[in-house]
Chain A
Amino acid sequence: MTVQKSRLEAGATRATRKRHTFNGGIHPDGHKDVSNAAPIVTLPLLSRYVVPLRQHIGTATRVLVQAGDTVLRGQMIGAAEGYVSTAVHAPTSGRVVAVEPHEVPHPSGLADLCVVIESDGLDQAVEFQPLDWRNLDPSALRNRIRDLGLAGLGGAVFPSFIKLNPEGGGIDTLILNGAECEPWITCDDRLMRERAAEILQGVAVMRHMLGAREVLIGIEDDKPEAIAAMRTAAGADTGVEVVAVPTLYPSGGGKQLTYLLTGRETPTGGRSTDVGVQVFNIGTAHALYRAVALGEPMLSRVVTVTGHVATPGNYEARLGTPVADLLQAAGGALPGSTGKLVGGPMMGFELEDNAAPLTKAVNCIIVKHPDLFPARPAALPCIRCGACARACPADLQPFEMYWFARAKDFGKAQSYDLFDCIECGCCSFVCPSHIPLVDYFRFAKSEIWERERHKHDADQARTRHEFKEFRLEREKLEKAEKLAAKVAENKARDAAAAATAAANPDAAADPEAERKKAILQAALDRAKKAKEAVTPQNTESLPPAVEKQIAEIEARRAQADTAVEKEAGQ
């Protein structure tokens, strides 16, 4: 009831902006009140951190340290490699114990390369240099932001410096995503309530870099406190507007929020930048403030720990904090828990191992209990009721995509715009047959990606093979040409010699023939000398018996030689 009322108020204060609504969407139970009451708690320093070298979308970082090195807080331990990449830093001072594959929060449950750091308890930091962002050259500023390891904190962890490209051009609207539409998660809510001013300073940097005319901050209207805090902080700043959007999952999707706030629809296969909009999570803006104003790399993030735990809430923890320690900070999982989810219940995945560390991508950890997360009933055949199509916020036809993805007819699935699917899970949520539709779409997408990878590899191999054949052919040709040239040269010389001989028959001594003879003689001499110089093999370190034998043989040979010589002499 109170939520209803505050929603009305939030809506009433700004009625001027034209409302746009996307099709579909769902209203799952929020469960936000479980964790949004208490302030953010900062986790104490731990004795051990595990920092994955791949915390963002793109190429893994190049590791800069090895076991035994000492590191300081904020020291870069992984450098950006390739274009889509961003740096990774040490969360505290201490010693690198190992650089090895370790469990990471990933749906595969596979291990990935991590730097394990043992804290020395001093927490000494490298010197942080605040950036003079207003006067710094834009490309230098971008490189600094890359080296400070900034990546989107909304969950997609796309390296921020790429999105802050002012040369991309045509960005007139900057959207800050504070919608936080997934159930259970409240980290952005708390951050906006407590650190609104800092977020807005980060926003100012973004706005400066992109040259955006207008800043829109979209927040779902079930967070009236956050809306109020942000509005107060924004104050009279013209060009920054805090817009309350109706609570409807997935209004926090980038394309959906863009449409809600601007009415601009992102084209198929495109990004919001195609319609002049750049979207950032408010957590990223906060991290950017820390990076630019304090010079501090991305070392920590706020994460919601909720569900079946003793003290659900939001915790500011350093990246690399093992999940086990996070759970302990929240009072530990209560008895009867049946596993953990990383991310929200709609888009998150099961966490296999508590040893996996916190990364830039992890915004929430939910401890499951059968009462909160009842087991999904067994899937029944699709009855083509179309409920998924009505719920789809991307205006797709999930039942068609499902039909072909299930039969592994990926080309057909793709022809139904599979890659416009944002995997929000609305279709699976509403499906009366309980079909895990999104699982099929993820499966189909990764199969298609793999095929494209193979195709790319094959194309490369073909070019390399063709080049090798071309090279061999060329070498053959060159050899033949050289040979032909030499033959021609010799012929010409012979002809010339014959001509001179004919012209001057008295010159008995042909200089060329003389020279050739001399060369031949020299070669023969050399060969003779070499023959004399050759020492028999395997004559070192032989047993005495063998040496004796050899000596006898040599003596016999010498005798025979002298005999032959005598004969020759006679």
Chain B
Amino acid sequence: MENYLLILIATVFVNNIVMSKILGLCPFMGVSRKLETAIGMGAATTFVLTLASGTSYLIDTYLLGQDLAYLRTLSFIVVIAGIVGFTEMFIKKTSPVLFRVLGIYLPLITTNCAVLGIPLLNVMEQHNFMESLFFGMGGALGFTLVLVLFAAMRERLEAAEVPKPFKGTSIAMITAGLMSLAFMGFAGLIK
């Protein structure tokens, strides 16, 4: 149990997928304009990532094994694409506005490097099934956390008096950099 908690804390804060591994920057910059959108994106990614981690573990362990290890990336992408397709249909049915607002970024979860990165990291670190699930969920929660924090800051930045050359994406980049620096402070949390 302690192990799982440790994995969660480590993936959310210490080894945050966006802030320290610099994965998933595309939706991080793209869907952080509004808080509501960021929360929606975070939820969708969490769902996809958790499911993808579990499924890809099962596929890697029971289907591929050592012999077919070269199919790993290929099969993972297929699985992720399938799950994203399912999520897309689900969101379109339940929340058409969120579907429209997420727009191109929803199918692009497929190509979110964080979503492929985490199952691959799972294999590399030789996690068991539960560990894989927690690693996936923790990574996704970490992604959601920074996305929501960042969106809240960007909403305020919209209203701020920013010097003209820094307006828009420039100041967002600077903010992201400062956030990354702040997350480095968690490095000493777990020895």
Chain A: residues with CB nearer than 8 A to chain B? 381, 403-404, 406-407, 409, 412
Contact = CB atoms under 8 A, between A and B. Distances in A.
Interface string B139-159: 000000000000000011011
Nearest to A404: B159
Contacts of A404: 159
A409 B161 contact: no
Nearest to B156: A403
A412 to B, nearest CB: 7
Contacts of B156: 403
Nearest 3 Cβ contacts at the A-B interface = A407-B159, A403-B159, A409-B159
A522 B109 CA distance: 84
A381 B161 contact: yes
Q: Which of B155, B158, B159, B161 has the most CB of A within 10 A?
A: B159
Interface string B2-31: 000000000000000000000000000000
B81 to A, nearest CB: 36
Interface string B154-168: 011011110000000
A406 B161 CA distance: 10
A232 B149 CA distance: 63
A404 B161 CA distance: 12
A550 to B, nearest CB: 77
Given A406-B159, A407-B158, A407-B160, 9 more contacts: A381-B161, A403-B156, A403-B159, A404-B159, A407-B159, A409-B158, A409-B159, A412-B155, A412-B159
Contacts of B160: 407
Nearest to A381: B161
B176 to A, nearest CB: 21
A416 to B, nearest CB: 12
Contacts of B161: 381
Interface string B117-143: 000000000000000000000000000
A381 B161 CA distance: 10
A440 to B, nearest CB: 12
Contacts of A409: 158-159
8 contacts: A403-B156, A403-B159, A406-B159, A407-B159, A407-B160, A409-B158, A409-B159, A412-B155
A272 B155 CA distance: 35
A407 B157 CA distance: 10
A273 B156 CA distance: 37
Contacts of A406: 159
Nearest to A406: B159
